[in-house]
Amino acid sequence: MIYSMTGFGKAVNTCGCKKITVEVKSLNSKQLDLVLRMPPAYRACELEMRNIIGAALQRGKVEMLITCDNSDDASLQRLNVPVLRAYKRQIQNVAAELGIPEPDDWYATLLRLPDTLTVAGEDDNADSAELDVVKRTVSEALVALNEFRAQEGRRLETFFEEKIEAIRSLLVNEVPLYEQPRVARIKQRMMDALAKLGDVTYDNNRLEQEIIFHIERLDITEEKVRLQNHLNYFLDTLHTPEPGQGKKLGFISQEMGREINTTGSKANDAELQKVVVRMKDHLEQIKEQVLNVL
């Protein structure tokens, strides 16, 4: 079973009058790239939460947002009087220095400035009970994300199986159609080229040896066998119960590409080259999607 690195998860819990919401999304990445945003009150358990996230997700570009909404009146926004007083004094000084009038509506002017509103208790440290709820909510959001990843993984698994079988079908059913006839055509081209030289003498045995040597260099039997093995290995790895096969599948697809490229370089036949191009097309689609596998 494989997991995608793309997913989304959300979980909500309450602690007293507070509603704690955790949203997490992930994209593909070579390693764990985590961005964690949370209220200052939860910073005490940030390291522990990062460890929980890393153990649950392993890899991916992950963004997690933790928010806390308080239904208590104590959490309403308050006017930051010292800041308002300082802004008002500065504006009055500037107006006097520049000879310009002071604002007609002080409230509208001052409340547009930064840090004039605060939330009571937003910088207070959360107690252990609230932190436990936060960590539980984080774990639940990660479970939801991994369920999403598993669902996407099943879709990718079907996609890979189809593409592997498409390559296998080309290798087994179409490559042999052009593999043997091309040998006769290659030999005939060599004999035609020799005939164009006119009345020359040559050693027939040596000519036959050179023709055999040239044809053996174009033989693709080994490439076919190795590609078949790579296709089987890809599927075996794909169906491994434990997650985390993404990098291994990437390595196998690279080996598949080497055998297909070598087959193309040895083809020396237009029709066989067309089959190779079709195999490459399927393989490129595999490589593109393997980047999303955990």
- Predicted local distance difference test score (pLDDT) of residue 279: 96
Q: According to the model, what pLDDT value does residue 104 have? A: 87
User: How much is the pLDDT for 289?
Assistant: 95
- For the stretch 118-137, what's the b/e string if a residue is b when 16 or more beta carbons lie within 10 angstroms of its beta carbon? eeeeeeeebeeebbebbbeb
Supply angle C-alpha 242, 245, 246, rounded to 5.
Answer: 145
Q: pLDDT in tens for each of the 294 residues of the chain? A: 899 999 999 999 998 888 899 999 999 998 999 999 998 888 888 999 999 999 999 999 999 999 988 765 555 567 888 888 999 999 999 989 888 999 888 888 888 888 787 655 554 577 888 899 999 999 999 999 999 999 999 999 999 999 999 999 999 999 988 877 777 777 777 776 777 776 766 667 766 776 666 666 778 889 999 999 999 999 999 998 887 889 999 999 999 999 999 998 888 788 889 999 999 999 999 999 999 998
Residue 32, H or E segment: strand 32-37
Q: Which domains does the chain have, with CATH numbers?
A: 7-73+125-150 (3.30.230), 77-119 (no CATH), 154-290 (no CATH)
Distance CA 28, CA 252 (A): 19
For the whole prediction, is pTM greater than 0.75? no
Residue 69's φ and ψ, nearest 5 degrees, are -110, 130
Residue 198 CB neighbours (<10 A):
6
For the record, the structure tokens of 223 come out as 């490439």
pLDDT of residue 77: 64
DSSP three-state, residue 185: helix
pLDDT recorded at residue 71: 64
